[in-house]
Amino acid sequence: MTVWRKLRRQLRPFTRWFGFSFVALATVGCGALTATLGYLAFVRREPKMLILVVGIFGGMAAVLGWIAYRECTRLKQPPVPIAELGFPMAAIMEQLHYELFAQSDISLRLATDGPLQRIESAMLSYDLDEAERLLNEQLQKSPKDLFLQIKRWEILLATERLREAAEHLSFIRSSFQLGASARTFLLLEELTTRAKGGDNDKVREGCEEFLRGSASVTEKTLVLDGLACLPILEGLRTYLDEADHWSIKALELSPNDLTLKGTRGSLLVEKSQLDEGEILLREVFENSESDFDYGICAFYLGLIAKRRGNEREAIRLGRIARRILPEPWPLSRASNEIGIN
């Protein structure tokens, strides 16, 4: 990574706050100017000037206020890894959202006190039995609503009925007219769910069948990389050897992809091949623009430093990973394996 990239990454939080502060101050300034000039125009009984002032400066204050609100909302949001994965995941998620809107009753999602809101309220309060009852009632009325069918998969996952959840995703893929990108994402989620449920044979069969198909290189690398991450993101070390194979195949399809190199390097560390893993991880750590890649590589480089006895470097890198990655696994592993409290 160049000096400029390092500096830009380090300054990113400060530039965001500076931008928000500047816009917020400009909003206040425009508002104050509008009030002052408007008052003077009113006192002098100049209606044309009053209308002009309120129209121009009031409009500017409103626009700047909206921008400040949006920036404040972004600053409060935790990092979302999927947005940092870039293409292809971002494009695939965009396609899935399009499919959800196209094959769902939008009025259900817009209603302020409709059945969907009651379902989500029950899920948020962990009353999953009630959420499932309400959802089943709604599905009887709208069985072809894709959003409701996805919501059913979420409830099955939340209640740890993993095999049933995987079968439901298979049902969705076969029952709805979906684009290739949406089908690829749902297949990856299905195979990941099957892996969590211990349905190992179907994971292998599903992956091989997909690779034999007509999917694009982008879609194949997405599935291969997602499955290769099972020991990393899901802690499923029983898949370590197969993940190693999947990561090699993914890099054969796209040898210059930094995310795939990061996955490969992480797996090599998991297999205690530290020197080989470090070469790949350093390349990604120093060149990737993705925060998610940067955080993953920081974590595994921290593990390498720890195993080599470099406690100070291990803690430094572990703190970077813990700050960037929102998932619970780096928090626990950084504490247990690197020694960060």
- Domain boundaries, given as residue ranges, for the chain: 3-77, 85-255
User: pTM value?
Assistant: 0.69
Identify the pLDDT of residue 146: 84
Distance CA 147, CA 140 (A): 14
Q: Smallest Cα–Cα separation from 185: which of 223, 232, 145?
A: 223
| CB-based contacts of 44, cutoff 8 Å, min separation 6 | none
Query: How would you write the pLDDT of the chain (341 residues) with one tens digit per residue?
Result: 444 444 455 545 555 555 556 666 767 776 777 777 767 766 776 666 666 766 676 667 666 666 666 555 544 444 433 333 444 555 666 666 666 666 766 666 555 667 777 887 888 888 888 888 988 888 888 888 888 888 898 889 888 899 999 999 999 988 888 888 888 888 999 999 999 988 889 999 999 999 998 888 888 999 999 999 999 888 888 899 999 999 999 999 999 999 999 999 999 999 999 999 999 999 998 888 888 888 889 999 998 998 898 888 888 888 888 887 766 666 677 677 776 66
| Residue pointed to by tokens 């928090």 | 331
- Contact by Cβ (8 Å): 154, 138: no
Identify the pLDDT of residue 142: 84
Distance CA 282, CA 262 (A): 9
Identify the pLDDT of residue 225: 93
Categorise residue 309: left if φ over 0, alpha if ψ from -120 to 50, beta otherwise.
left
CB atoms within 10 A of CB 328: 8
CATH number listed for the domain at residues 85-255: 1.25.40.10
- Which residue stretches of the chain are H helix? 3-43, 47-53, 59-76, 81-84, 89-102, 106-110, 115-124, 128-141, 146-158, 162-175, 180-196, 200-212, 217-228, 230-233, 240-253, 258-270, 274-287, 291-307, 311-324, 328-333
Angle at 297 between CA 294 and CA 300, to 5 degrees: 150
**Helix (H/G/I), strand (E/B), else coil: 263:** helix
Q: Smallest Cα–Cα separation from 57: which of 78, 77, 80, 38?
A: 38
